[in-house]
Amino acid sequence: MLYEIGRSLSVPVSRFFEGLPGNDETSRNASPLPVDERIDFIASAEGRRLIEGLMQLPPRVRNRVAAVIAAMGEELVGLDADRDTMAIYDPMPDDRKTG
């Protein structure tokens, strides 16, 4: 189960054990783990509802839904990059221009 969670988050399973008390190797060298937004979302009520709904889907449908979500995320990243590029060339929106 932990392996599957790590795989879905694209992190190694060892990530879940870093910095734990009693782990002498890690506690000497590791700094506290930064808060990961993905874990926070999964722990939220919205994240739990989403996961519960996804788990009720057949695996093939679940994979397709995951592909759609990933594609939407890539599209949003592209839109953000386009908006940032536009801001470089035209930093003031039309509604703020006077003249």
pLDDT tens, the chain, 99 aa long? 777 777 788 778 777 777 776 655 544 554 444 567 778 888 889 989 999 999 999 999 999 998 998 889 888 887 776 666 665 555 555 556 555
What gap in Å lies between CA 79 and CA 22, rounded to an integer? 46
| Predicted local confidence at residue 70, as pLDDT | 87
Q: Tokens for 86?
A: 């536009």
Question: Are 57 and 65 a contacting pair, CB within 8 Å?
Answer: yes
What gap in Å lies between CA 42 and CA 73, rounded to an integer? 17
Question: Are 2 and 16 a contacting pair, CB within 8 Å?
Answer: yes
* Number of other residues whose CB lies within 10 A of the CB of residue 15: 13
DSSP state of 27: H
